[in-house]
Amino acid sequence: MKKTLYGIPNCDTVKKARTWLAEQDIEFTFHDFKKQGLERATAAQWLTQIDWQTLVNRKGTTWRNLPDERKAAVTDNDSALDLMLETPSVIKRPVLDRGGKFSVGFSAAQYQDLFQ
């Protein structure tokens, strides 16, 4: 099963996830969505399994720095998708694709459960 980890390399949580996967000898591809971009179809696919309110990191600096009217405009999958493509830093990281099954965030316990 192909695994892809989406994120940005300087994010501490992404670093922890990459380290954990490497230590478990789990092969994966890392996709830096700031440098490599993010396709609408990919993010739309995430939204089929992950609620937009989970996927949009509303606790992060990027969200807090958005104008209030921009934040207020994010009310559903479509508006969240537009924001994620416009400002990828607002996406909660990392997003893990395990052959079409998606999860977001990282903890060792979470990944242990995913890879049992």
Residues belonging to the active site: 11
Q: What is the maximum alpha-carbon separation in the chain?
A: 45
d(CA 63, CA 66): 5
Using DSSP's 3-state secondary structure scheme, residue 14 falls into helix
Per-residue tokens: 62: 């990027």
**Residue 37 gets which letter from DSSP?**
-
CA within 13 Å, CB half, 57: 18
Nearest alpha carbon to residue 56 among 27, 28, 82, 24: 82
